[in-house]
Amino acid sequence: MSTTMGADAHVIEFDELLDRCLGNLELMERAIEAFVAQFPAELDQVEDALARGCKTEAAAVAHRMKGSASNISATALVTEIANLETASLRSSGDCATQSCSRLRSEWERLLQAIG
């Protein structure tokens, strides 16, 4: 994994994350790797819950995802997950589906940023 900061570096606040990891670059990389390993399955869980009409379940998984994204200082992703969490509880299925789509786009940006 590359931790160099290119044009999409703002997707993860690397300096903030490195501070959280007490300057330990290896720990920072492990935290990102763990997040990357779990995120796709959680996003699938949210989409499945929405497809089944289980808004509360979708919001609960999104809330967990939001905490994980926050732990690695992925602020743009946190914002999209928060939007999804809110849409899951308060909006129509279409709005939540659109939020999932935007979240997938932000996820792709994060993957590009960490190379």
Q: What is the pLDDT of residues 65-106, one digit of tens each?
A: 999 999 999 999 999 999 999 999 886 667 888 899 999 999
Chain mean pLDDT for the chain: 89
Rg of the chain (C-alpha set): 14
- C-alpha closest to that of 31 among 43, 21, 46, 44: 21
- Could you give the CA distance from residue 5 to residue 53 in angstroms, rounded to a whole number? 39
Percent of the chain with pLDDT over 90: 77
Percent of the chain with pLDDT over 70: 90
Q: What is the mean pLDDT of residues 18-30?
A: 96
For residue 7, pLDDT over 70 is answered with: no
- Phi first, then psi, for residue 8 (nearest 5°) are -100, 15
- C-alpha closest to that of 72 among 20, 111, 113: 20
